[in-house]
Structure 1
Amino acid sequence: MTTILMDLSSAWDVLDGVNLPNGFRVEITDGKIIMTPQGEQQWKVILRAAPQIEQQLAGHGEILSDVMIDFPSSLYGYAPDLAIVAPGSERNKRGRFEWHSLEAVLEIVSLSTRDNDFEKKFRMYAECAIPLYVIIDPSENVCTIHSKPARTGVYTEQETIAFGEDLVLPLEGREIVVKTDGFPRSEG
């Protein structure tokens, strides 16, 4: 399904009142609505990582999965696989969090999302100064932590963690540790 968006306050405005099918991930990239089914590996990573993060946040922030976030563009509407919202953040008048509320975004790549995760989201998240962007890649059995975003659309530092090692997320004034040994692995 492809629809070109006009100049709206939020890319998500075009979907107001639309009943979306369950089991599909919906995002807006370059003004196009993109619907993809959620993959098994993606779901298993979310299922294993989210409870660990939530437990460690202990009321100091929130963890969201596949929830609409308002970005400063009517051409991009992302719903990250996992997003950590900073403590004290408030929802906007639409009832959504905005990009500046995010401390970290974790995306689990698949063949269908690879280009967006490594290029378009990478650029958007850096331009929006999201402190941490983590790409979890089950096909390579690695997590890559991108930090120190620049407004030019790049992260200036990166660290790669192999599945089986602890994924350490340095947040503002605290650290979240995600055990990756239960993440699904590629056999190849």
Structure 2
Amino acid sequence: MRNAVEQMQERVPGRLEITKEGIVHDMGSPAGPHGLTAVRVSRRLEKAMPEELVAHTGTPDVEGPSEGIMRHPDVMVIAEADMEVEGSFDPRTLIAAIEVVSRSNPDNDWVSKMRDYPLLGIPVYVIFDPRTGTGAVLSDIHPTPSGPRYATRKEFVYGEDVTIGEWAITTQDLPLYA
């Protein structure tokens, strides 16, 4: 499936990702409220974190080949040293994956990634939803009969401070979709 995604990615807008259920096409644009939210969250985190950590908004993907999953978080909290690899990042090196909910496919963030990220071993998953001005921090992976899941969910409303890993940032002035 990875080869198919790589071949198609050049010809289609948006991003293609591989989930346990197949290929997901996210038409989300990096511009507008989506991109601005990712940039503001990234900058705020980088001000709060130690210098050796980054809140990365670029490529590459995060891939768990044994799980058959390839995802591209909007923001990845990772040690700079763990970025010194060829190809996709190892998901077990991420401290957190942060997603800004896509207007075109919100279930990708609220359902599919909520299932895939604990399966990949990403300890913290944060969702910012510009549709509603709310979000959630998910953590504490635990086993369930249907696979690993996050045991703890802390919801927040834009305007409140949110704690991501060890660092608190404000959600003031995050844009909403019109």
Residue 8 (structure 1) aligns with = none
Q: Whole-Å Cα distance in 2 between the matches of residues 86 and 129 of structure 1?
A: 16
4+ runs deviating over 6 angstroms: none
Residues 100-121 of structure 1: CA deviation (Å, up to 9, x unaligned): 0111011111232311111211
Residue 176 (structure 2) aligns with = 185
What are the ranges of 5 or more consecutive residues in structure 1 without an aligned counterpart?
6-10
Residue 73 (structure 2) aligns with = 80
TM-score normalized by the length of structure 1: 0.77
Asked if 1:148 corresponds to 2:140, the answer is: yes
1:39-118 alignment runs, 5 A limit = 40-67=32-59, 68-73=61-66, 75-86=68-79, 88-89=81-82, 91-92=84-85, 94-118=86-110
Native 8 Å contact 1:141 1:185 kept in 2: yes
Compared with structure 1, are the counterparts of its residues 51 and 85 closer, same or farther at alpha carbon in structure 2 (3 Å cutoff)? same
In terms of fraction of residues, the more helix-rich structure is 2
Compared with structure 1, are the counterparts of its residues 35 and 161 closer, same or farther at alpha carbon in structure 2 (3 Å cutoff)? closer
TM-score normalized by the length of structure 2: 0.81
What amino acid sits opposite 1:84 in the alignment?
V
Q: Give the fraction of aligned pairs with identical amino acids, expressed as a percent.
A: 24
What amino acid sits opposite 1:27 in the alignment?
E
What amino acid sits opposite 2:38 in the alignment?
I
What are the ranges of 5 or more consecutive residues in structure 2 without an aligned counterpart?
none
Compared with structure 1, are the counterparts of its residues 182 and 60 closer, same or farther at alpha carbon in structure 2 (3 Å cutoff)? same
Compared with structure 1, are the counterparts of its residues 66 and 74 closer, same or farther at alpha carbon in structure 2 (3 Å cutoff)? farther
Compared with structure 1, are the counterparts of its residues 112 and 66 closer, same or farther at alpha carbon in structure 2 (3 Å cutoff)? farther
Asked if 1:124 corresponds to 2:116, the answer is: yes
Figure out how many residues of one structure are paired with residues of the other and give that number. 172
